[in-house]
Amino acid sequence: MPENTPASTAPFKHAVVTGASSGIGAATVRKLRSEGWSVVAVARRAERLEALAAETGAVPFAADVTIDDDVAALAAFVAGNGGLDTLINIAGGARGADPMATANNDDWEWMFQVNVLGTMKMVRAFLPALRAHGHGTILNLTSSAALAPYEGGGGYNAAKFGQKAITGALRLEEAEHNIRVIEVVPGLVQTDEFALNRLGGDPAAAAKVYEGVAEPLVAEDVADVVSYAVGLPHHINLDEIVIRPVAQAANHKLIRRL
pTM: 0.93
Rounded mean pLDDT, 50-69:
98
For residue 3, is it within any domain? no
For residue 1, is it within any domain? no
> How high does pLDDT run on average in the chain?
93
Rounded mean pLDDT, 100-129:
97
Residue 210 annotated to the active site: no
pLDDT at res. 12: 66
Q: Domain residues for 120?
A: 14-254
Q: How far is 37 from 257, CA to CA, in rounded Å?
A: 40
Rounded mean pLDDT, 92-108:
95
For residue 88, is it within any domain? yes
| Residue 66 pLDDT > 70 | yes
Confidence band of 11 (pLDDT split at 50, 70, 90): low
For residue 5, is it within any domain? no
Confidence band of 57 (pLDDT split at 50, 70, 90): very high
CATH number of the domain enclosing 28: 3.40.50.720
Rounded mean pLDDT, 60-78:
98
Count other C-beta atoms under 10 Å from residue 41's C-beta.
29
The lowest-confidence range among 88-97, 134-143, 208-217 is: 208-217
Rounded mean pLDDT, 94-104:
94
Rounded mean pLDDT, 215-235:
97
For residue 8, is it within any domain? no
Three-state DSSP class for 196? helix
For residue 6, is it within any domain? no
Q: How far is 144 from 163, CA to CA, in rounded Å?
A: 12
- From 150, 156, 210, 228, active-site residue: 156
For residue 2, is it within any domain? no
Q: Which of 114, 158, 110 is nearest to 140 (CA)?
A: 114
| Residue 152 pLDDT > 70 | yes
pLDDT tens per residue across span 157-182: 999 999 999 999 999 999 999 999 99
Percent of the chain with pLDDT over 70: 95
Are the beta carbons of 231 and 174 closer than 8 angstroms?
Answer: no
Alpha carbon distances (Å) from 104 to 91, 101, 110: 21, 9, 10
Confidence band of 7 (pLDDT split at 50, 70, 90): very low
pLDDT at res. 4: 41
| Number of domains, the chain | 1
Rounded mean pLDDT, 5-14:
57
The lowest-confidence range among 8-12, 38-42, 48-52, 127-131 is: 8-12
